[in-house]
Amino acid sequence: MQIAKLAGATAVVALFVAQVPARAADLTDPQIAHIAYTAGVLDIEAAKLALKKSKNTEVVAFARNMVRDHQAVNDKALALVKALKVTPEDNDVSKGLVKQAKAEQASLAALQGAAFDKAYADNEVSYHKTVNTALADTLIPAAGNAQLKGLLQTGLKIFQGHEMHAEHLAGMLK
């Protein structure tokens, strides 16, 4: 069962990695903003599921941090696009992220107890590695607006910490 859950997380990773670099040259700042915002919303949704399902104090604390930090970055992103009078633009990458995340959420929702905790933590490791790679290698370099680029760089620093925390959490769970 665990292998199936990891395969689901890997599918999300593969989709995100495959779509972002292939379209990087074509991405506009409104599309980049939407991809980054969508990635944050999806992690908030996964964390909220963990808050509902987990009884593990470390998993719950991690999930609370994900909600708090991703919401704070998304709030800054919304303020920035409003100040710049830019409308984030949905695109194939953000749509693909949503589709894959819904499938992963369904897989996680079917799990209970320690199996859920481990699958959630493993998914968070994969998800943060993927998002961080996409930010560093594709989205930040492709961003044209200096303020957007700066916000993405700040988010990357925060999310690199999340990745390390998720790795630690996943290593603790059996």
One pLDDT digit (tens) per residue for the chain, 174 residues: 444 444 444 444 444 544 554 455 689 999 999 999 999 999 999 999 999 999 999 999 999 999 999 999 999 999 999 998 889 999 888 888 898 889 889 999 999 999 999 999 999 999 999 999 999 999 999 999 999 999 999 999 999 999 999 999 999 998
Distances (CA, A) of 42 to 25, 37, 38, 100, 147: 24, 9, 6, 10, 23
25 near 138, Cβ under 8 Å?
Answer: no
Annotated domain spans of the chain: 2-23+50-172
Q: What single string gives the DSSP state of each residue in 81-110?
A: HHHTT------HHHHHHHHHHHHHHHHHHT
Paired tokens of 73: 């970055």
Please give the Cα distance from 59 to 120 (Å, whole number): 9
116 near 55, Cβ under 8 Å?
Answer: no
Distances (CA, A) of 167 to 11, 119, 137: 19, 12, 21
CATH class of 2-23+50-172: mainly alpha
